[in-house]
Amino acid sequence: MELDRAELSPGGASSPTQWSPSALGQACSEVLHRLTGHEARRASARRVALKDFSALIETTEWDRLLEGSGQPLRRAAETLGQVTKALEKYAAPPKEEACAGSAHSEVPEKAVEVGVLFLRLLEKVEAGKNCLVCPAWKTVLGHLAGPIYIFAITHLLEQPWTSPRSREVAGEVRSSLLKVTQCSSVAGFLRGENEDERFPVIMGLLKPYLNKESWKNNPAVKHVFSWTLQQVTRPWLTQHLERILPPSLLISDDYQTENKVLGVHCLHHIVLNVPAADLLQYNRAQVVYHAIFNHLYMPEHHLIQAVLLCLLDLFPILEKAQNWKGDASRPTTHCDEVLQLVLTHMEPEHRLLLRRTYARNLPAFVNRLGILTVRHMKRLERVIVGYLEVYDGPEEEARLKILETLKLLMQYTWPRISCRVVVLLRALLKLICDVARDTNLTPDPVKNALLQEATDCLILLDHCSQGRVKGLLAKIVLSCDDSTVVSCIRKVQWVSADASYHGT
């Protein structure tokens, strides 16, 4: 390497041939050998390689070098790209099982060192391209952009292998890369704001590390894939479906909850940004459905939340493939199947976080099914009554969402409500009494919201029962001495006084 450095040094001969692409390629090959060859196992060899590459960046006249063309320039650019890939791997975190102790703590330091090199390299390319008539710099940048992008995203996000300093440097690398490529955002960089799209290039670099055998060798790869995927939206994502769907399914199928959630987020992004026709082709939508349906058996509230949100957006796509003829009963849908399982899990559930997660998503299922919710009336009634009885903490999220569900249920299925008036009336009055007697635990705004929602439910219940509720409440007012309860009952009577009962 000393010879190469002498040839590329400003103190050496000044003949233009000594600044040729072939000389750069030879020097880069030496650096690459020290980073990836047998001697790369020694820390001293890697440090020398980094020093040599730093010197190479500083001593090369990039504006004159990039005036070259043809095969020598392409070979030099290719070798430079291989060095960049090697440096990105050098700064990458080790395998998950090895992420401990000194091996883990060394990663941010390496990232800062490599990030500074990338910043200087990008600065040189930026300075060189401004002096050129011939756009040969694009050839070099085409080999550098992918690995530098992966490095930046690997260390940009807050992860166990990053530090404030390494994240700062990674952010600067990303900004510099966008500046050199003349892109206004990462999304523009990926979809090719000014040049050919780079998303396929990035996916191609990640592909060897996203198969069943290797995807855990680098714990950063799944995060880079997920973050990159979510920067690309429709219509650009559709053409890459074959590249992005298998890794997303692979990550979601892992035994670790963190990976399941990450994979489901990727699948959800695909569902939202790929046309239904493409997802229905080759039964892809069914594959996604079955892949995440089984996650509903996991008692992890973060996972359940991610799965339910994804399924709610997947149902319209799955239903496009179903044909219903008006002369027959409507077939059971995937939404029915999921709601049945959710209600089965909700009934005995005692963990507050899971109860809140289920209750949070229940109104969307009732909205989705509409009048077809009658198929689940018995179980819904038990869940509603059971959840209204249990205090849910100061925010009362579960009970508020259950009241919202009950309102929707009465609006959609009002002909079936009259036979359930007594059960629902008892549950609502008990809730109002509990809230009225609660003097310490629940904040006043939450209490008011609960009382308002419960009162609205009583008004709807009265409409559905042709005024029966108003008659039953008249007896309660005479014997009740709680002003809050009486106030809620009076509201029901006032609103219902002039109502005409022809359904809701």
pLDDT at 502 over 50: no
Neighbours of 41 (CB within 10 A): 8
Contact yes or no for 292/267 (Cβ under 8 A): yes
- Give 147's pLDDT tier (boundaries 50, 70, 90): very high
* Mean local confidence (pLDDT), 238-243: 94
- Give 69's pLDDT tier (boundaries 50, 70, 90): low
Highest mean pLDDT among 156-160, 247-251, 435-439: 247-251
* Mean local confidence (pLDDT), 456-467: 92
Average pLDDT of the chain, as a whole number: 86
pLDDT at 104: 63
pLDDT at 146 over 80: yes
How many Å apart are CA 48 and CA 102, to the nearest integer? Answer: 21
Residue 210 burial (C-beta neighbours within 10 Å; 0-12, 13-18, 19+): buried
pLDDT at 130: 63
Please count the residues of the chain. Answer: 504
pLDDT at 410: 96
pLDDT tens by residue, 162-171: 999 999 999 9
Contact yes or no for 59/129 (Cβ under 8 A): no
pLDDT at 187: 93
pLDDT at 309 over 50: yes
pLDDT at 1 over 70: no
How many Å apart are CA 271 and CA 279, to the nearest integer? Answer: 8
pLDDT at 23 over 90: no
pLDDT at 102 over 70: no
pTM equals 0.89
Neighbours of 393 (CB within 10 A): 13
- Give 437's pLDDT tier (boundaries 50, 70, 90): confident
pLDDT at 281: 93
pLDDT at 155 over 70: yes
How many Å apart are CA 21 and CA 140, to the nearest integer? Answer: 11
pLDDT at 471: 85
- Locate the domains of the chain by residue range: 1-232, 369-504
Decide: helix, strand or coil at residue 189: helix
How many Å apart are CA 388 and CA 83, to the nearest integer? Answer: 63
- Most distant pair of Cα atoms in the chain: their distance: 107
pLDDT at 19 over 70: no
Which comes out higher in pLDDT, residue 17 or 63? 63
| Listed residue (265, 266, 284) closest to 275, CA to CA | 284
